[in-house]
Structure 1
Amino acid sequence: SESEEQERDRALAHLEEVLMYEGPQTVAGIILEVIVGTNGILVPPDGYLQGVREICDRHGIVMILDEVMTGFGRTGYWFGSEGFGVEPDLISCAKGITSGYVPLGAVVISQKIADQFKDKVYYGGLTYSGHPLACAAGVGAITAMKEEKVVENAKMIGDDVIGPALREMQKRHKSIGDVRGRGCFWGVELVKNRETREMLVPFNASGAQMGPVAAMASAAMNQGVALMVHWNVVILAPPLIITPAEAKRGLSVLDEVLEIADKAAD
C-alpha cells in the first residue's frame, strides 16, 4: 500500500472477501483490538473501525472490541473506541479498571444485547464473578480517575507532549521509521533504512539479536527511565498521572539513547 487510506480499503476488502468465502452466516462475531498493543502499537487508519462496524451490521455479526490495554484512559478516552467514533456490541476490559491493584475483568454489553436477557436467563458465570473486593477496587479506581481528571491528563500528555516530541525526534533520528499512538500509548518503530523499512533487529529477535535495541533500553534504565522494547519497537506507556515535566524528562532520555540506534542504521 502507498497510503493509509489504501491500506484501510484493502484490509476491509480482505475482511469482506474472507466472510464471503466462509459464509457470513457462519460467523458469530469479529474480535479485534482497538490499537494493537504489545506487537507494536498499531493504530488503525481513520475509517477502518467504522468500516468493520458497517460490515458487521450488514451481515448481522457481533462486533467485539478488546480494550484490555486501551480501556480506562490509556488512549486519552475512557475507551479507545470513543476516539475512533465507534460503538461496538461488546467490550472486554481489565487491567486499568482497577488501576492494576486487584485483578478484575469485565464485559461491557450494548443495550441491544443486554435486552435479550430480560426474558432469557443467561446460564453462565465463573467461580469468582462479582467478587466484592475486586469490584470495590474498580469503583474506587474509577471514582478517583473522574475526580482527578486522569483521562483528560492522558489525552493532554499525548496531544501536547509525547506526540509532538516523537514527531520532532523522527526528523532528527534516521533510525526512526515511524511513530504512532494516542494518549499515553505510543510506539517508536526502529529501522535500518527508512526507504526499505527494514527492521533494525530481526522479527522475533531475542538475546544477542536485540543488539542496539537492548543497548538502548539498558542505557535508558541507567538514567532511571524504563523503556519497554518489543523487537524493533520502543513502547511508551507511562502512568496516566504523569506530569508534563516527567514526560519531558523521559523523552529527553529517549532522545539521547536513540543515538545508539542511529549508529546501527544505514
Structure 2
Amino acid sequence: MTKPPPRILSIAGSDSSGGAGIQADIKTIAMLGGYAMTAITTVTAQNTVGVQAIAPMSGEVVAQQIASCIEDIGVDAIKIGMLHDADIITHVADALTGVKAPIVLDPVMIATSGAALIDPQAIAIMRERLFPLATLVTPNLPELAHLLERNLTDSSQMAQAAEELAHMTGAAVLAKGGHTSDARIIDILYQPGEDARAVQFDHHRIDTPHTHGTGCTLSAAIATLLGHGQPLEHAVRLGRNFVRAAIENAPGFGAGNGPLGHHAVRRLD
C-alpha cells in the first residue's frame, strides 16, 4: 500500500502574482510530495514590482479555516507566514494550542524596502503566543534585528543573535543571511536544549533579481520535509537546496523581483 503524503497546512497571505505566500507554499509542498492545505490570512494585489492592495481576513475566519483542515483531514506539519495583525495572531495561537505537529514560523515583519508589515503590538503578541508553539523560527537579518532591537550586519553577529533568540523562545532558530555583507549566503541554525548546537550552511550568491518568495518557499519546504519525518537539520539542508535550485531555474517573469522556478526543481542534492 502506498504511504499517503504528509498533510501540510500553510497559514499565510495570498500573493496574486503567484510568487510568494500561499501560492509559493502550495507549489513547494506539491513538488516535495506533500498534500497542501491553506488558511489564508490576507488577500493581496501584488506583482514583481510591489504590493498594490491588501485586505486582511478576520482572525475568526482564519481560525475557522485552520479548524476545518485539522479536524477533518488532519495535519503532519504547519507553516506560518504573514499574519498581518494582532487579531489574526491571537486567533492562530488559540487554534494551534495543543496541536501535535511541527510548526515552522516565518515571522514576516519587514518588507524588502525596510517598512514594518505589522505593528509593534502584533510583534509582541507573536513573540508571546506563537514563538513558544514553534518548532523552528526562520527570521531574515532585518527581522532578527527587529526582534532583538539591535543592528546586525554580518554572520558573526547573526550567530550570536540566533542563539539569544532561541534561548528566549525555546524554539530552534534559522537565521537567514541573505541580507548580510558576507561574500557568500550564510544561514545559521541554532537548536537550544541540553545538546544545544549551531550549524552553519552556506553557498555562493546567485546573481539574479528573481528571488521573490524565497523566505516563503524555504519555510514551506522545511515544514514539508519535517512532515515526511526528516530530522530538523536535514530538513533545513534539503529545504535550502530546494530554494537554491528554484532560484537557478527562475522563469524570469515580471519587470521587478520575479518568482522562483518551483516547477523546474528535479533534485535536492
User: Same fold judged by TM-score > 0.5?
Assistant: no
If each structure's strand is expressed as a fraction of its own residues, which one has the higher value?
2
Higher relative contact order (CA 8 A, sep 6+): 2
TM-score calculated relative to the size of structure 2: 0.30
